[in-house]
Amino acid sequence: MKNPHHDIPATLASALQEARRVVVFTGAGVSAESGIATFRDALTGLWSRFDAQALATPEAFRSHPDIVWGWYEWRRAQVLRAAPNAAHRAIAELERRVPELIVVTQNVDDLHERAGSAHVVHLHGSLHAPRCSSCGTPQPFPEGAPSEPEEGRRIAPPACARCGAPVRPGVVWFGESLPADAWNTAIRAAERCDLLLSIGTSALVYPAAELPQRALAAGAVVAQINPAATPLDARAHHNLRGAAADIVPELLASAGFGAGDRPSDP
């Protein structure tokens, strides 16, 4: 079927129509289309003096907890001002149209959930789930939105209500392992799915980039939606170039997923 903007292969539309188990694997490109700066995009104010990668380590938090906490509050404020885009909404709609769908995301925002996705696995943690840096107990944020988000400032992290240690952002830092439960759930989903959609990810960051390979090895159809070429190009069954907010809704339309078209459960 020919689309107004992109050619959606008929074989991919058919694969989506027939799929009973779908994995949607998303990366920073999906959030960037909502105006959220990717991890290494140009930083402003105080944060322009720091290397983002250097801030995202346990060592940086131990040495300068106020700088690291302030930076993550700046990022959280940016996310709170953003809204899910058409790709997030289409992915949530797809979840309502197929028998089983799981979103596995490398993003640390909550835009998939805010768009309506119910089954989301966060491989790299979440900006919205802080925890104690010592005992690991989940912690609430202080009341009120992060202050001075545009320029940023040093902010001392709150103390754990249980042990008094500094509360840390709930994200996976460089040198840390992925959350075991999230990773195991993602691997199981990739190895049993019929179709994996890799959307807005560079396919460079391991171990997350292993998921499409696991799906391919298990015999699933793998389709990639990304503006630029990635290492996955050579192995994916379909490579669609462009913005996820344009292509994902078109893919759903090409599969005929309008109101009332949900397949019956097996």
Q: Was 163 annotated as part of a binding site?
A: yes
Q: Was 110 annotated as part of a binding site?
A: no
Q: Was 109 annotated as part of a binding site?
A: yes
- Cβ proximity of 215 and 23 under 8 Å: yes
Catalytic residue among 6, 122, 124, 237: 124
Could you tell me the two tokens for 243?
Answer: 């913005």
Could you tell me the two tokens for 16?
Answer: 């989506």
- DSSP strands (E only) in the chain: 21-26, 100-105, 120-122, 131-132, 167-168, 195-199, 221-226, 238-241
Could you tell me the two tokens for 171?
Answer: 């994200």
Q: Was 193 annotated as part of a binding site?
A: no
Strand partners, 104: 25, 121
Q: Was 78 annotated as part of a binding site?
A: no
Q: Was 34 annotated as part of a binding site?
A: no
Active site residue 124: yes
Rounded to whole angstroms, the Cα distance separating 185 from 72 reads 27
Residues in Cβ contact with 258 at an 8 Å cutoff, skipping those fewer than 6 apart:
none
Give CA separation, 149 vs 3, 75, 210, in Å: 40, 8, 35
Q: Was 31 annotated as part of a binding site?
A: no
Give CA separation, 144 vs 66, 70, 141, in Å: 18, 14, 8
Q: Was 206 annotated as part of a binding site?
A: no
Q: Was 17 annotated as part of a binding site?
A: no
Q: Was 75 annotated as part of a binding site?
A: yes
Task: Please give the DSSP secondary-structure letter assigned to residue 212.
Answer: H
Q: Was 135 annotated as part of a binding site?
A: yes
**β-strand pairing of 167-168 with 131-132:** antiparallel
Q: Was 226 annotated as part of a binding site?
A: yes
Residues in Cβ contact with 175 at an 8 Å cutoff, skipping those fewer than 6 apart:
57, 58
Rounded to whole angstroms, the Cα distance separating 102 from 205 reads 20
Three-state DSSP state, 192: helix
Annotation: binding site for NAD(+): 106-109, 200-202, 226-228, 244
Annotated binding site: 72, 75, 106-109, 132, 135, 160, 163, 200-202, 226-228, 244
| Residues in the annotated binding site for Zn(2+) | 132, 135, 160, 163
Catalytic residue positions, numbered: 124
